[in-house]
Structure 1
Amino acid sequence: MANVNQTASDNAEEFGFHAGDLVQEWLWDDDVDDSIRAKIEELTGEELVDEDYDSAVDGVIIWWRDGDDEDELSDTIVDAYAVLGDDGPLWVLTPKPGRPGAASSSTVQSAAKTAGMNAATPLTVSADWNGVRLRAFGKGR
């Protein structure tokens, strides 16, 4: 089963994005994993758009690090969900434990709950980053 998960990670399919999807990226900084960005762009065939993009998008990734304000994360989740069409995939990406900026999954879960979202179990999305998929209460599984 680990090989299946690794293959999905290598192809960015686990994010739930599809060809033609427009994916918005929030809180980008020079520490992000460019391989994740490249895999999403390869899968969708579209460049990522930044948080200033103000039309509907098909998916969202939020890069979040410990030390950032938890209330800011809740606000960012609310803002990102507002432009997310049809309950598309919304992910919070955090550095893995032991890496600079590593965040507790309980912090992400708390911020998600404040924003009216459920947080899934963290997944490994690269060597240095975990991802947590969020869903609005009452949506999906």
Structure 2
Amino acid sequence: MNATAGSADGVQTIIDRLGVKPGDVVMEIGFDSDIDAALREAVVGCVGELHDEGTDEVVDTVLLWWRDDDGDLVDVLMDARTPMAEDGVVWLLTPKPGREGHIESAEIAEAAPTAGLQGTSSLNAGADWVATRLVAPRGR
């Protein structure tokens, strides 16, 4: 069973699964009226505020709401990496299959390495959104 951001238990579960903790610096990119408000409110409730792309802070987590017609995914992923902590995470939030703006997983799989990131997992992030966890590869 996948917990979503829609229920009280689901809110805590999604926060736990995203790995967001009080005190984390979270940057949000791609906010629009179609985002999952319950997920966003849960993150704000945990960390207090979301920063935009202009932040001077070192960022622990990036919430990147992205749709098929939003432009070049590689460019925005590169921009998202710039303020990220070494162990930071990008959660790429995309519309689920069949929803307007859906992005094929192959496009994500192609864009992430070009931006210096790799996908590690995906999770249900609400009724209309799926979240893909992207991180910088660990050097050996």
Task: State the TM-score, normalized to the length of structure 1.
Answer: 0.85
Q: How does 1:1-141 map to 2 (within 5 A)?
A: 2=1, 5-6=2-3, 9-11=10-12, 12-44=15-47, 46-69=48-71, 72-138=72-138
* Distance in 1 between residues matched to 2:10 and 2:85, nearest whole Å: 24
Q: Post-superposition shift, 1:9?
A: 4.6
- What is the CA distance between 1:82 and its match in structure 2? 1.5
Query: TM-score scaled by structure 2?
Result: 0.85
Aligned residues between the structures: 133
- For structure 2, list consecutive stretches of 5 or more residues without a partner in the other structure: none
CA distance in 2, matches of 1:68, 1:41: 24
Name whichever structure is richer in strand by fraction: 2
Task: Report the Cα distance in structure 2 between the residues aligned to 1:57 and 1:51, rounded to whole angstroms.
Answer: 10
Instruction: Give the secondary structure class of the aligned counterpart of 1:37.
Output: helix
CA separation in 1, counterparts of 2:121 and 2:60?
Answer: 22
- For structure 1, list consecutive stretches of 5 or more residues without a partner in the other structure: none
Q: What do residues 43-76 of structure 1 show as CA deviations (whole Å, max 9, x unaligned)?
A: 22x111111223212211111001233xx21121
Tell me the CA shift for residue 118 of structure 1. 0.7
Q: Is the CA contact (8 Å cut-off) linking 1:13 and 1:43 kept in structure 2? A: no
Q: Please tell me the root mean square deviation across aligned C-alpha atoms, in Å.
A: 1.8
Return closer, same or farther for 1:16/1:43 CA change in 2, 3 Å cut-off.
Answer: same
Identity level (%): 39
**Deviations for 1:8-33, whole angstroms, at most 9, x for unmatched residues?**
75212111111111100012122111
In 2: Cα distance, 1:14 partner to 1:87 partner:
16
Q: CA contact under 8 A between 1:105 and 1:122: conserved in structure 2?
A: no
Flag the structure with higher helix content: 1
Q: Deviation of residue 90 (structure 1)?
A: 1.3
Structure 1 ranges of 4+ moved more than 2 A: 7-10
